[in-house]
A and B are shown apart, each in its own frame.
Chain A
Amino acid sequence: MRSFPIGGVHPSDNKAWSRGSAIETMELPDVVNIPLSQHIGAPAVAKVAKGDKVLVGQLIGEAASFMSANVHSPISGTVTAVDMQPNGQGLRQMMVTIKREGDEWLPEIDRSTTLVEHCDLAPKEIIERIKAAGIVGMGGATFPTHVKLSIPEGKHAETLIINGVECEPYLTSDYRTMLERGELLIAGTRIIMRAIGVDKAYIGVENNKPDAVKHLRELLGGDKSIEVLSLKTKYPQGGEKQLIAAVTGRQVPPPPALPIDVGAVVCNASTAVAVYEAVQKRKPLIERVVTVTGKHLASPKNLLTRIGTPVEALVAKCGGLPEGDVRVLNGGPMMGRPLVNISMPVMKGCSGIVVMDGGDVHRGKESACIKCAKCVEACPMGLEPYLMYKLIRKKAWDDLERNDIPICIECGCCQFTCPAYIPLLDQVRFGKQTVMGIIRARNAKK
């Protein structure tokens, strides 16, 4: 069974809560707040002002630079404000507020459901369309897809890997997408292969989703250029570097090296579907599948949701928040960000909303490190979390750099596994930010 080479943990995935529910379309929201920064890189620049009428799919924010992404209106209506609104973490960021009037789409968007497989566009044009559609990595990292697919001068892509691993526990949005929109996913994969000029693609799926593997293999039939790989169920199998290692056996060297340095390009499964829609149907990224789940949520669901819909509307559709203490997460329970404000809008990178309640909202009581070495064993990057923790408490930044803290992928395996409930990742994340800041400052001086 293929898997990444070192570390990893086995959290109970609890996907059964939502894996059985087919993708449902969420009702259109009456008012949406669309953040202009839903991606890594510079925030988009607002293209509309208060009072403007917009249609579904209309550009409302333009990419500010190459490392940025367009933002489109997910509903039709009137712009009522372009100002600072609180995001999920309670911090204010620039958002466009639109009040819905009907559901009128831009005429050039093809809304038919017919599958268009044939594509003879030049690679450049494909990437141009992806860029126009504002597509970003939908697994949560929100890296602009057009940047990822623009292979830098002197580099050469050999394999495309479609990430259908969905190693985050609880989440099933990619799983449902592979099952219900598999043909779109495969069409999207072929388009991306064409864009980056490779003739081999792999779709990596964890072996806790055998029906998805089977379904995709059936759809592919005899096509040898795309291969569906069943990977070991182990977190973080879907981490970009881990997935590349599992599929190709090659390890991406430490930063500043990128996956392309080992000839690999990785795209999320939902992103591949979005690419298909953008290139063949001219449909920008205005909706996505979101898993809404939780132990005491009345009816966990996978919802096809317009970007900008308030999270609380999704939670309400699934039965509302359970009574009492809750911890609501944007993303999965291993890497998701906690929400303090659930009126925040669903964004491009939001693959799931997880509601934890009762005793789960608290952390275990911290005790002394017993040097059990479980964190070292669990780290998929071969780091020593216990040591980094100690060095951060001592503010020994030079030592931390020597101990390779910048390669940490913040997957959380160390903290998950620590029997003393030490908040290892809290500190390591802080230490990594500090050390990266020191490195940047040093490089800027040179």
Chain B
Amino acid sequence: MNTLIFTVVTLCVVGIVAAIVLYFVAQRFKVEEDPRINETEKMLPGANCGGCGFAGCRAFAAAMVERDDISSLYCAVGGADCMKRIADYLGKAAPVKEPMVATVRCGGTCEKRPHTNSYVGTQSCAIASSVYIGETGCAYGCLGYGDCVAACAFDAISINPATGLPEVDADKCTSCGACVKACPKGIIELRKKWPKNRAIYVSCVSKDKGAVVMKACKAGCIGCGKCFKVCEFGAISIENNLAFIDSAKCRLCRKCVGECPTGAIKMIGLAPLAKKEEAPKPAAAPQPEAAQPTVIEKSKE
């Protein structure tokens, strides 16, 4: 009996002493923190993707709370609703940003861009690109080892085995930009997201001269400039033998798409411009004969 009492008392004393020590230690090392940071963090999606440029959601929340002007902060994953809720909670003006979507700008599928060699090293784009040009003749194109897929925290990008190229699921993409950073070739770009995931973009980033591009890939931009001439909104620029469509200026008029001789300008979610609409233009041009067959062909289909 004595042993039992002794044990219980000793344990209690030890417990009380430890509690007192812990209390003072906790007081001594207490960190004063704005409680709003916790609340803000709860409102964020919690993906910790780093797309905002901060180490994680908590660091971003701290920045939201601390800064007076939060217009430069934006969580693409949470989107406009999330930003508005947080801004209302903090009593600050909500940052506004157009929705964006990651876009893979390479059309060099297996058939358009034949393989010239076999890479048997580590299957990683970053490593392969530091070794050599890649398995095809194009120094700018997608390597296809899926560094972007590995970087995506939202399962929004995957390699299509038929083409060997990554494809973005626009509904899942949060435009966090992780894939953009992961691609050693700089192929992926964040572009303005149109309703119904519509898009028009140049699906090539090759800065090689036209002849070199044609040799390596049948779907590459050769920098011919036809699209540039036809664009009415000044959205297209040609630099280093490469056309680029500025997604902020593009109005999805589709005129450039038909002009591209290699099909490097890709269109998603839009019907091809009816040839009839196009017809007045060639009709006005000095060679109506040339335009005629295309119209007939179209009607046959």
Give the A-B pair count, Cβ closer than 8 A: 41
Q: Chain B nearest CB: distance from A156 CB in Å?
A: 37
CB distance from B153 to the nearest CB of A (A): 14
Smallest beta-carbon distance A148→chain B, Å: 26
CA distance A363 to B120 in the complex (A): 7
Interface residues of A in 362-403 (CB under 8 A from B): 362-363
Query: CB within 8 A of A90: which of B121, B126, B132?
Result: B132
Chain A contact-residue range equals 10 to 19
The digit string for A408-433, where 1 denotes a CB below 8 A from any CB of B, is 00000000000000010011011001
A322 within 8 A of B: no
Decide: B139 and A90 in contact? CB cutoff 8 A.
yes
Tell me the complex Cα distance, A44–B26, Å.
65
By a CB distance below 8 angstroms, the chain B residues around A361 are: 120
> Roughly how many angstroms separate A340 CA and B117 CA in the complex, as a whole number?
7
CB-based contact A426/B121 at 8 Å: yes
A311 CB → nearest B CB, Å = 15
- Please tell me if the beta carbons of A89 and B132 are within 8 angstroms of each other in the complex: yes
A91 surroundings in chain B (CB, below 8 A): 132-133, 139
B interface, size bucket: 10 to 19
Query: Which one of A338, A363, A423, A427 lies within 8 Å of B132 (CB-CB)?
Result: A338
Residues of chain A within 8 A of B121, CB atoms compared: 363, 423, 426
Judge if A10 is at the interface, Cβ distance under 8 Å.
Answer: no
Task: Decide yes or no: A90 and B133 within 8 Å by CB, A427-B127, A430-B127 being known contacts.
Answer: yes
Interface residues in A28-62 by Cβ distance below 8 A to B read: none
Q: In the complex, A433→B130 CA distance in Å? A: 10
Q: Known contacts A363-B121, A423-B121, A426-B122; decide if A90 and B130 are in contact (CB<8 Å).
A: no
A427 B122 Cβ-Cβ under 8 A:
yes
Say if the beta carbon of B116 comes within 8 Å of chain A: yes
For A363, the closest partner residue in chain B by CB is B120
Interface residues of B in 117-148 (CB under 8 A from A): 117, 120-122, 124, 126-127, 130-134, 137, 139
Q: Are A429 and B139 in contact (CB under 8 A)?
A: no
Instruction: Label chain B's interface by main secondary structure.
Output: loop
What is the CA–CA distance of A193 and B122 in the complex, to the nearest angstrom? 44
Most chain A CB within 10 A, of B116, B120, B124, B208, is at B120
Bound together, the chains give a CA A317 to CA B122 distance in angstroms of 33
Q: In the assembled complex, which residues on chain B have CB atoms less than 8 Å from the CB atom of A426?
A: 121-122, 124, 127
Alpha-carbon distance between A337 and B132 when the two chains are bound, in angstroms? 9
A111 in the interface (beta carbon within 8 A): no
Q: Measured between C-beta atoms, what is the minimum distance from A74 to chain B in Å? A: 25
The answer to whether B137 touches A90, judged by C-beta atoms less than 8 angstroms apart, is yes
A90-B132, A90-B133, A91-B132 as given contacts; A340 in contact with B116, CB under 8 Å: yes
Which of chain B's residues has its CB closest to A92's CB? B139
Q: In whole Å, how far is A444's beta carbon from the nearest beta carbon of chain B?
A: 19
Also in contact, A430 and B132, with CB within 8 A (given A90-B137, A91-B139, A92-B208) = no
Please measure, in the bound complex, the distance between the C-alpha atom of A90 and the C-alpha atom of B119, giving whole angstroms. 13
**Interface residues as binary, B103-123 with A (CB distance below 8 Å gives 1, 0 otherwise):** 000000000000011001110
Once the chains are docked, how many angstroms separate the CA of A368 from the CA of B215? 41
Alpha-carbon distance between A429 and B128 when the two chains are bound, in angstroms: 11
Distance between Cα atoms of A361 and B118 in the complex (Å): 10
Q: Which residues of B contact A92 (CB under 8 A)?
A: 139, 208, 212
**A169 CB → nearest B CB, Å:** 20
Give bound CA distance, A298 to B132, whole Å.
28
Chain A positions within 8 Å of B127 at CB level? 426-427, 429-430
Interface pair A430/B139, CB less than 8 Å apart: no
Q: Can you list, as one digit per residue, whether each of A344-363 has a CB less than 8 Å from chain B (1) or not (0)?
A: 00000000000000000111
Residue in A86, A89, A363 whose CB lies within 8 Å of B131: A89
Q: Which residues of B contact A427 (CB under 8 A)?
A: 122, 127
Interfacial chain A residues near B212, Cβ < 8 Å: 92
**Which of B124, B126, B131, B139 interacts with A338 by CB under 8 Å?**
B131
Contacts of B116 in A (CB 8 A): 340
Residue of A89, A340, A362 with most chain B CB atoms under a 10 A cut-off: A340
Question: Nearest residue in A to B137 (C-beta to C-beta)?
Answer: A90
B120 touches A362 (CB 8 A): yes
Select the residue from A90, A423, A427, A433 with max chain B CB neighbours within 10 A: A90
Question: How far, in Å, is A86 (CB) from chain B's closest CB?
Answer: 8
- What 0/1 pattern do residues 197 to 236 of B give for CB contact below 8 A with A? 0000000000010001000000000000000000000000
User: For the complex, what is the distance from the CA of A423 to the CA of B117, rounded to whole Å?
Assistant: 20
B142 CB to nearest A CB, Å: 15
Report the minimal beta-carbon distance from B86 to chain A, rounded to whole angstroms. 29
A430 touches B133 (CB 8 A): no
Residues of B243-274 whose CB lies within 8 A of A: none
Q: Given contacts A89-B131, A90-B132, A90-B137, are A430 and B117 in contact (CB under 8 A)?
A: no
Q: Is the CB of A429 within 8 A of B132?
A: no
CB pairs A–B below 8 angstroms (16 shown): A90-B134, A91-B132, A91-B139, A92-B139, A338-B131, A338-B132, A340-B132, A362-B120, A423-B121, A423-B122, A426-B121, A426-B122, A426-B124, A429-B130, A430-B130, A433-B130
4 nearest interchain CB pairs? A90-B133, A89-B132, A426-B122, A423-B122
Given contacts A86-B133, A340-B117, A429-B130, 6 further A-B contacts (CB under 8 A): A90-B133, A91-B133, A91-B139, A426-B122, A426-B124, A427-B127
Question: Which residues of B pack against A, CB within 8 Å?
Answer: 116-117, 120-122, 124, 126-127, 130-134, 137, 139, 208, 212
Residues of A within 8 A of B (CB): 86, 89-92, 337-338, 340, 361-363, 423, 426-427, 429-430, 433
